[in-house]
Structure formats: structure tokens, C-alpha cells
């Protein structure tokens, strides 16, 4: 019944819109001072949509454009508010958001409607008087909104009012993601980034339909999340960073702020506490976590693999359970990432013993375990996620876990690591996995990259940004752009629409958008950036 009512309302809205179209004629002529640019080509979007059918029509956003949000779709009003907020600064238009059918008399508008699509699928129809995004969920509306933003002139991303005619190309886009998981990881442990910096990055990744933000919250150099039962983790363990730079941590309230900011942009936060290695900040904060009872000094170098929790001490498991319990309680998303990588100073049998004790704790607090692929050798329960960070080719342990029901997120270091230098001259980043130019980041297939892992076990992709050399938002952006959109496209777009020449051309069009936003990026010589 509820479904019938919803679809009936959508049909009424659609009918009302159609009926009103002849009555509304052309929008008011724009003032002569506005510059008129050729419209963007429908489909010149990153990530590439599944199906694009252009028409001769164009829609023009004006000071009288309104946004209608179908109240039968949960979250549509918030999506409408987000869209209005994105378009207001450059247009200067008020773009009020109404639920239909009220206000339909004003006609020309943007409609966010409830359709029969599932998940993040959406349809976008642009005609002379109407822009209609139809989706079955608010995540689908959100995906359609990100497409719509890229169909406006690049100056739409300017923070100040621009005298342009805001044209949107006509036609139909039908779109849905290839993979459910499309992630970006930010290492806030090696260097700390403030709530505002993380939110800035969330805004940037959401544009490319990235739907998970993995926060690497603890490592040797810093513990960045308040744990009320072990307060020194943050206040002492979080007090420094690589190179002795200043540290910091998120209170649980601030973490909640990040989680909600992400949620409002259709992004789910995946928190990571790296265990049992990468734990010097915790070991320095609490001597009792060390086998010899002696706390090591805080660490500000960039070595890996030298620290380990004390696997034989009961207090270790009390500590881990407290951390998992508190983190699970402030994390609405399904995943809790427990690291597990590079535990070079934890003997293999200790490593397995530790994980066999810790994995059930993740389930106990209602979360699905996620970890770097190293931890798959502890055979987590079916459905657990392993994040692959190798170089591709066959991997027996990852393949066995995939066959036993683990889900694999592909983040190969030689393709998806945003902290790898682009080339030898790159002022930031590391190069242990080689140099990674944009084309290297783009030309690989997540479904076949690891031998023995069937495509059906791959839940998606992730682009990790480790921050040993990354200290500012400008640094984050220089390494993420233009490679993050490459990984995002591999995660979203159907194999049939992928291809370097097309991506290269569509990516080039992002340059002016980043300039308008004030986003730093690496002007790769592989991309024909417009002058």
C-alpha cells in the first residue's frame, strides 16, 4: 500500500509537471551581462554514467528555479537542501526547496522524485523546463545530484557569484554503480587533520560518488580518537605526529560531527584502529600494555613494523574490547577496521592467537570486521572484508579467504595508493610501490587484479592516502587529484564505458572545476587540461 501511494504521488507529480509545461513558456531572458557558454556535453562526467542519450533541449537555471523534493522518499528534502546549497554561491539564486505538489504552479524546476530504482541507481532527465532526478533511495538521488553538478559550467563551483547563463544539457542519463564499495582512506595518524580538513575532503570525494571514508585513526605516531576508558591514548598518544609536527585528536563528539557530515553526503565512515602492530602510540601511553611493563617513548619517524601489543597479557584484550566497544557505539556504519598489516614484530602464532581473540569482539559489538588483507590468514567469519594492498597477481591466502566468503576491497599499492609519487620530481609522497601516474591509477581491473579472487568476491575499490609526507589540505589534494577520480570511476562505472581516451578527456574538464573550488591538483602531463 505504502509503495502504491508513493508511486502514485510520483506519477501525479510527473503528470502535473508535464501538464504545466506548455503554460510556462521560456524562462525569463537572462540579463545581457551574463556570459553564455556552450553547454557541457551530456555524459562529460566523472565517473562515466552507464547510459547517456542527449537531446537538443537545454535547461537554464534562473532566479525563479525551485527544487521539488518528493516527500515519499526519505531524505529527499535533505538532498534538495544539499543541491540548493551547492548551487547558491555561484548563481546567487535562492533555489527554495518544496515538497510537491505544493508550489507546482511555479513550474520550471528541479524535481527529486521517488522511483522504482534500487540502491544508488538513478535516472536524470533534462528537458527545457524540468530537470528530474528519479531514484529509489536518497543515496540514488545523491548520485544523480553529483552528476547534475558536473553538467553545469565549471564556474558553478566558484564560491562567489558569477555572471553566467547556467545551462544544463538536455537528454537522459541512466546510471548505477558497478561496485557497492567505493572508498577513500585518509591517514590522520601520521599527520593529524582537523574536523574542518576532513569535512573538506569528504565534500571533494563525494563529488565522485565515493561512498566510504576510511579513517586510519591510530598508528605508531599518533592515536587520534578519544577513548573515555583509556584517556591517555588521545591526550598523550595523540600529542605528536611525524617529524615532531603538532598532533591532535578527535573527541567523540567531534568524531560524531564527521560521521554526520559524511552521512549527509551519502558517505559512510569506516574507523580503523590498527592492531596488533602499528601501536607505539598506545604502548607509549600505557606501560601495562607492554610485555615488559615499560612504556616506549613517543615515535615521530616513518618506520613500520617495530611495535606490537603484548599478546600474552589479559589486559591487552580488556584494552582492545574497550576500544572496540566505544568505537562501535559512535559508528553507525557497518564496518570496523582492525588493521592487521605489517605486524613484523608479532610472531605468526601470536598474530593468529590475537586475531582469533579479537575478531569475535567486533561481532559482539554489532560490526562487520574489516582489515588489511594480511589479517585474512586468521580466517575471519564469512562476510568480513579484506582490503588488498599488494601489487596484483596471484595471492593464495587472499584467494582462499575470498572463496571462504570474505569480501575483498581492492586497494593495490601500485595503482590505488594516493601517497605514491606521480614521478621522480614529485615533491610529496613515497615511492616504495613505484611511481603512479594517472594512467597507472586508471588502467587496471578490480575484478581480475588478484589471481584466484573471483569477481563476485570483490566488493569494490579504495584509494588510501597515507600521510607520512602529507601535512596540509593542499598536500592532500595534490596527491588525490587527479588520481582519486580514476579509482572512483573504476569503482562506479560499467566496464563497457571505461577507457583511457574517454577518461582523459572527461578528467581534463575537472581541472577548471578544481580551480573554481580552490582545490589543489597535480597538473599531470598525461591530461589535456583546458587552457
Which residues contribute to the site for ligand TNX (CB under 6 A)?
A: 304, 341-342, 372, 389, 413, 417, 419, 430, 466, 468
* Lookup: cell for 293: 611493563
Active site residues: 342
In the complex, least distance from residue 214 CB atom to ligand TNX, rounded to whole angstroms: 11
Q: How far is the CB of 395 from ligand TNX (least distance, A)?
A: 14
* 39 vs 380 by CB, closer to ligand TNX: 380
CB of 504 to ligand TNX, least distance (A): 26
Q: How far is the CB of 466 from ligand TNX (least distance, A)?
A: 3
Residue 121, all three cell numbers: 541507481
Q: In this structure, are residues 343 and 351 in contact, taking their beta carbons and an 8 Å threshold?
A: yes
DSSP assignment of 92-151 equals -----EE-TTTTGGG--EEEEEE-S--TT-EEEEE-SSEEEEEESSHHHHHHHHHHHHHT
Residue 216 Cβ vs ligand TNX, minimum distance, rounded to whole Å:
8
Q: Which is nearer to ligand TNX, 157 or 274 (CB)?
A: 274
CB-nearer residue toward ligand TNX: 419 or 440 = 419
Dihedral of the CA atoms 88, 89, 93, 97 (nearest 10)?
Answer: 20
Dist. CA 193–CA 185, nearest whole Å: 13
Residue placing its CB nearer to ligand TNX in the complex, 70 or 341: 341
Nearer of residues 125 and 341 to ligand TNX, judged by Cβ = 341
Answer yes or no: are the C-beta atoms of 141 and 112 closer than 8 Å.
yes
Write down the least CB distance from residue 309 to ligand TNX, Å: 16
Q: How far apart are CA 9 and CA 17, in angstroms?
A: 12
Select from 403, 438, 406, 443 the least CA-distant residue to 420: 438
Q: Find, among 143, 156, 151, the residue nearest to 207 by Cα.
A: 143
Alpha-carbon distances, residue 183 vs 17, 174, 440, 475, 480 (angstroms)? 37, 23, 18, 19, 12
Q: Do 170 and 54 contact (CB within 8 A), yes or no?
A: yes
Amino acid at each position: 500500500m505504502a509503495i502504491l501511494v508513493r508511486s502514485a504521488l510520483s506519477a501525479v507529480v510527473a503528470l502535473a509537471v508535464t501538464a504545466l509545461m506548455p503554460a510556462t513558456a521560456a524562462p525569463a531572458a537572462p540579463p545581457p551581462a551574463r556570459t553564455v557558454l556552450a553547454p557541457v556535453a551530456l555524459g562529460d562526467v566523472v565517473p562515466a554514467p552507464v547510459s547517456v542519450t542527449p537531446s537538443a533541449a537545454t535547461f537554464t537555471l534562473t532566479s525563479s528555479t525551485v527544487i521539488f523534493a518528493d516527500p515519499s522518499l526519505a531524505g529527499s528534502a535533505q538532498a534538495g537542501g544539499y543541491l540548493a546549497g551547492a548551487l547558491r554561491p555561484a548563481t546567487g539564486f535562492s533555489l527554495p526547496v518544496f515538497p510537491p505538489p505544493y508550489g507546482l504552479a511555479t513550474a520550471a524546476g528541479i524535481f527529486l522524485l521517488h522511483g522504482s530504482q534500487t540502491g544508488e541507481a538513478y535516472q536524470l532527465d533534462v528537458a527545457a523546463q524540468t530537470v528530474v532526478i528519479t531514484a529509489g533511495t536518497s543515496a540514488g538521488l545523491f548520485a544523480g545530484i553529483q552528476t547534475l553538478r558536473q553538467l553545469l559550467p565549471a564556474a558553478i563551483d566558484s564560491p562567489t557569484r558569477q555572471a553566467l547563463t547556467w545551462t544544463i544539457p538536455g537528454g537522459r542519463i541512466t546510471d548505477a554503480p558497478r561496485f557497492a564499495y567505493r572508498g577513500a582512506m585518509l591517514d590522520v595518524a601520521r599527520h593529524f587533520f582537523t574536523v574542518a580538513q576532513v569535512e573538506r575532503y569528504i565534500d571533494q570525494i563525494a563529488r565522485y560518488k565515493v561512498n566510504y571514508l576510511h579513517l586510519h585513526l591510530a598508528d605508531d605516531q599518533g592515536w587520534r580518537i578519544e577513548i573515555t576508558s583509556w584517556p591517555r591514548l588521545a591526550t598523550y598518544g595523540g600529542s605528536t605526529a611525524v617529524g615532531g609536527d603538532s598532533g591532535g585528536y578527535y573527541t567523540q563528539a567531534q568524531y560524531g560531527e564527521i560521521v554526520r557530515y559524511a552521512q549527509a553526503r551519502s558517505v559512510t565512515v569506516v574507523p580503523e584502529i590498527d592492531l596488533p602492530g602499528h601501536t607505539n602510540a598506545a604502548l607509549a601511553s600505557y606501560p601495562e600494555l607492554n610485555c615488559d611493563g615499560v612504556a616506549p617513548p613517543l615515535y615521530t619517524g616513518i618506520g613500520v613494523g617495530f611495535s606490537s601489543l603484548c599478546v600474552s597479557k589479559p589486559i591487552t584484550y580488556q584494552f582492545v574490547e574497550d576500544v572496540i566497544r566505544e568505537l562501535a557505539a559512535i559508528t553507525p556504519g557497518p564496518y570496523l577496521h582492525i588493521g592487521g598489516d605489517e605486524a613484523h614484530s608479532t610472531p605468526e602464532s601470536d598474530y593468529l592467537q590475537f586475531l582469533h581473540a579479537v575478531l569475535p569482539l567486533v561481532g559482539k559489538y554489532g560490526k562487520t570486521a574489516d582489515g588489511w588483507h594480511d589479517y585474512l590468514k586468521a580466517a575471519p567469519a564469512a562476510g568480513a572484508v579484506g582490503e588488498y594492498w599488494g601489487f596484483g597477481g596471484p595471492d593464495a591466502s587472499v584467494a582462499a579467504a575470498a572463496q571462504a566468503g570474505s569480501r575483498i576491497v581492492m586497494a593495490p599499492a601500485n595503482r590505488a595508493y594516493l601517497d605514491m609519487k606521480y614521478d621522480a620530481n614529485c615533491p610529496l609522497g613515497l615511492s616504495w610501490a613505484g611511481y603512479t601516474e594517472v594512467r597507472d591509477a586508471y588502467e587496471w581491473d578490480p575484478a581480475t587484479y588478484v589471481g584466484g579472487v573471483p569477481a563476485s568476491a570483490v566488493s569494490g575499490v579504495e584509494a588510501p592516502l597515507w600521510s607520512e609526507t602529507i601535512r596540509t589540505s593542499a598536500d592532500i589534494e595534490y596527491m588525490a587529484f587527479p588520481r582519486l577520480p580514476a579509482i572512483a570511476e573504476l569503482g562506479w562505472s560499467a566496464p563497457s564505458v571505461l577507457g583511457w581516451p574517454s577518461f582523459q578527456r572527461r578528467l581534463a574538464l575537472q581541472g577548471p572545476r578544481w580551480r573554481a573550488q580552490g582545490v589543489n591538483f597535480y597538473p599531470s602531463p598525461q591530461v589535456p587540461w583546458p587552457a
